[in-house]
Amino acid sequence: MSEEFDFADKVPPSFYEMGNKIIYETEAKGLNPGLIVLLVVVGLLLIFLVGNYVLYTYAQKTLPPRKKKPVSKKKMKRERLKQGVSAPGE
């Protein structure tokens, strides 16, 4: 391991052609693909939520109110007995 590498003093050709130029990071031209995906997802979510709200308000205006479940006869008797009124037929 005492011997040095043969290519230690040589520069790879791709770096040799560049010389002493320093490469600075340039700003991306156009929109970042991640940003585009984010905008599409947020836009679809917003459309979904607004559409649900519009359908909800439309349904509230146009649909009739739900009917209540009929009260059973057993419960009717119990309520009448609580109020002190005897049920008919007793």
Q: Report the chain's mean pLDDT, rounded to a whole number.
A: 79
pTM beyond 0.85:
no
- Mean pLDDT over residues 58-77, rounded? 86
The burial of 64, by beta-carbon neighbours within 10 Å (0-12 exposed, 13-18 middle, 19 or more buried), is given as: exposed
Region 72-83: mean pLDDT is: 84
Token pair for residue 59?
């349904």
Per-residue confidence at 57, pLDDT binned at 50, 70, 90?
very high
